[in-house]
A and B are shown apart, each in its own frame.
Chain A
Amino acid sequence: MSLELFLLLAGALFCVGLFGALTQQSIVMLMMGLELMLGGVILGAGAVWHYVAPAAADGQVLIVLAVTAMALEMAVGFAVVTALFRSREVDMTDMAAELKE
């Protein structure tokens, strides 16, 4: 195990999540991609804490920040889906974009 291996894994998770966020049409699936990206960020922050600066707590604080961002993203995402679905019966990104015009 080394810093590079952990960061490569984090990068892989981030890119898989990015692929999902870019391709998925359903809004909830798109949010899953964002969650995976944040999972990569968490892993990267943990690895940097462990291998570069274990004496400072900043890496841990970054993880707390990412976990909170995950929770907020999910809560607001579901609220937006609920509002969109209620007003327009829409649950896909493309349909939401079309109805804007």
Chain B
Amino acid sequence: MNVAVFWTLAVLAVVSGVMVFRFDSMARATFSLLASLLCVGGLVVLLGLDYLGIVIVLMMTIEMAIMAVFMVMYMMNPAGLMPMTMMHNKKGAAVVCGLVFLLLAAGILFAPWPARRGKAPADPTMDLGMSLMGPQMLTMMTLGMALFATIVATVVLATRRGRYDRLGDDLRARRADDPVRGGVGR
């Protein structure tokens, strides 16, 4: 049973991963990527990590929904009504990727992998939580800081007019320079 699930998910993941870059429509490409990442989530569940698998499934669903919105906003040809390719250096990239895969496969097949040591805990989720709140606390704090920095950075990058545009470089302007009157600065 598990073997059948593995092969189904594995083939689906790779095929939909390849289809991401073959679809004409960008919306379709987004959902193909979603299918591929959902298969990855399913495989993680298959490995016994239920919590992380479900987290991946939920996160990817939301992420790809947002991505589809951005696709439609910025990209040409969101519906794929005309065939098109937007690629450069296809041959070189294919060679690089083939070589990287061969290198990885050689490493995977010829490396003397250590035997399985220890037994999986009865509740891996509990184990993860205790680890993140204990010995891996530094990792968790770094992730938290990175997430916070991302929030700040994305807002700064995406804002059209910040307070320095409104009130001058030293924020001393007596009157905010707004294109439309009647806002907070009046």
A contact residues vs B (CB 8 Å cutoff): 1, 3-9, 11-20, 22-26, 28-29, 31-33, 35-36, 39, 42-43, 46-47, 49-58, 60-61, 63-65, 67-68, 70-72, 74-76, 78-83, 85-86, 91-92, 94
Let me know if B52 and A36 touch, CB within 8 A.
no
B contact residues vs A (CB 8 Å cutoff): 2-3, 6, 10, 13-14, 17-18, 20-21, 26, 29-30, 33, 36-37, 40, 43-44, 47-49, 52, 55-56, 59, 63, 66-67, 70-71, 74-75, 86-90, 92-94, 96-98, 100-101, 104-105, 108-109, 113-114, 116-121, 124, 127-128, 130-132, 136, 139, 143, 146-147, 150-151, 153-155, 157-158, 160
In-complex Cβ contact of A12 among B63, B87, B101, B114 (8 A)? B101
Let me know if A8 and B119 touch, CB within 8 A.
no
Contacts of A54 in B (CB 8 A): 48, 116, 118-121, 124
Q: How far is the CA of A24 from the CA of B93 in the complex (A)?
A: 10
Q: How far is the CA of A32 from the CA of B47 in the complex (A)?
A: 25
Q: Contacts A14-B104, A39-B40, A76-B150: A29 and B117 contacting too (C-beta < 8 A)?
A: no
Q: Contacts A49-B49, A55-B120: A11 and B89 contacting too (C-beta < 8 A)?
A: no
Q: A-B pairs with CB below 8 Å: how many? A: 224
Contacts of B94 in A (CB 8 A): 19
Contacts of B158 in A (CB 8 A): 78-79, 82-83
